[in-house]
Amino acid sequence: MALSSGSKKQTLFISSLILLWYSSNIGVLLLNKYLLSNYGFKFPIFLTMCHMSACALLSYISIVILKIVPLQMINSRKQFFKISTLSVVFCCSVVGGNISLRYLPVSFNQAVGATTPFFTAFFAYLMTFKREAWVTYAALVPVVTGVVIASGGEPSFHLYGFIMCISATAARAFKSVLQGVLLSSEGEKLNSMNLMLYMSPIAVLVLLPATILMEPNMLDTIFLLGRKHKFMWLLLLVNSVMAYAANLSNFLVTKHTSALTLQVLGNAKGAVAVVISILLFRNPVTFIGIAGYSLTVIGVIVYGETKRRFK
């Protein structure tokens, strides 16, 4: 049976969204790695501030000017404080992830990042006393085991990078649980686009003094790099716009498909990012490392399926 013109347009639209989601998510990850490890740009906090500045500006344009989604207002100081708390946790997760990319290959970074469901379940239990079925927790065993195996088989293993990556993964999971707890009442709920609109400027205000204190020679070095590599400013701009596109496409894919579809795409994205990064950066991999990462991905898929069935 042939698809109608409307169905074809809808299919093409959703396919384009998924392509944007893949390219922006994988693109920002690989560009981060290239800038931080292969380019001499050793300023992960400043890089995160560039991302958040782009998110603040482009969120304003998308919501207030282009009206892609309706503007949701902050109703109280209490709600503003909750959003600020989320913004600080979000900053920690992004900065930690960017720092880890200085020391770890993308393949191992993605393997550690795949343990997000483990930390999410852990924080959900601690903060909300929410219990899952025992089979759901059992599915987390291969998630963690896979990373332990991958760590042992990673030729480029770096302890500090690993600690930063684990911290970033835990902070990302903590932010998602905290968001559900803090903005749970009907009057305080914000969609992810509006949340980004309010979180991003707060993040910039937090990251600016952190950059000045922790990356004091940043400006001199960046201008030297800018003179040496004429495309550096363009790379920074593209990288920052991609960071926003990743958040925008994340929201749009969820809106036009489902959270489950995004979860499935996310599992596949990690594998695609690993393959592309190995081809681009030619970082050494071992059979043990690949086996560990594969076990983690299988565990994440099984975890997602058991959560869906035992709701």
* CA–CA dist 16, 24 (Å, integer): 12
Within 10 Å of residue 255's Cβ, how many Cβ atoms? 14
244 sits in which H/E element: helix 232-256
Residues ≥6 apart with Cβ < 8 Å to 260: 304, 308
pLDDT of residue 251: 86
The 3-class secondary structure across 69-136, one letter per residue, is: CCCCCCCCHHHHHHHHHHHHHHHHHHHHHHHHHHHCCHHHHHHHHCCHHHHHHHHHHHHHCCCCCHHH
pLDDT at 217: 87
Cβ distance 107 to 270 under 8 Å? no
pLDDT at position 284 is 85
Is residue 72 classed exposed, middle or buried when 0-12, 13-18 and 19+ CB atoms within 10 A define those classes?
middle
Phi and psi at residue 115, to the nearest 5°? -80, 5
Give Cα separations from 16 to 12, 20, 58, 247, 301 (angstroms): 6, 6, 20, 15, 24
d(CA 143, CA 146): 5
3-class DSSP state of 154? coil
Backbone dihedral angles phi then psi of residue 104, each to the nearest 5 degrees = -120, 150
| Residues with Cβ within 8 Å of residue 257, at least 6 apart in sequence | 14
**Nearest-angstrom CA–CA distance, 154 and 249:** 32
Q: Where are the domains of the chain?
A: 18-310
Which pLDDT score, from 0 to 100, does residue 139 have?
Answer: 86
The answer to whether residues 64 and 71 touch, using CB atoms and an 8 Å cutoff, is: yes
Angle at the Cα of 151 (from 149 to 157), degrees rounded to 5?
160
Side-chain half-sphere CA neighbours of 221 within 13 A: 10
Q: Count of CB atoms within 10 A of residue 60's CB?
A: 15
pLDDT recorded at residue 88: 95
Q: How far apart are CA 273 and CA 106, in angstroms?
A: 8
Q: Provide the pLDDT for residue 24.
A: 95
Tell me, what's the pLDDT at 1? Answer: 46
109 close to 100: Cβ distance less than 8 angstroms: yes
Structure-token pair, residue 224:
């030297």
Is 278 within 8 Å of 149 (Cβ atoms)?
no
Mean pLDDT, consecutive 10-residue stretches, the chain (311 aa), reads: 67 88 94 88 94 97 94 92 94 95 92 91 87 84 92 90 96 91 82 93 96 91 86 92 92 78 77 88 87 90 82 63
Residue whose token pair is 């400043």: 46
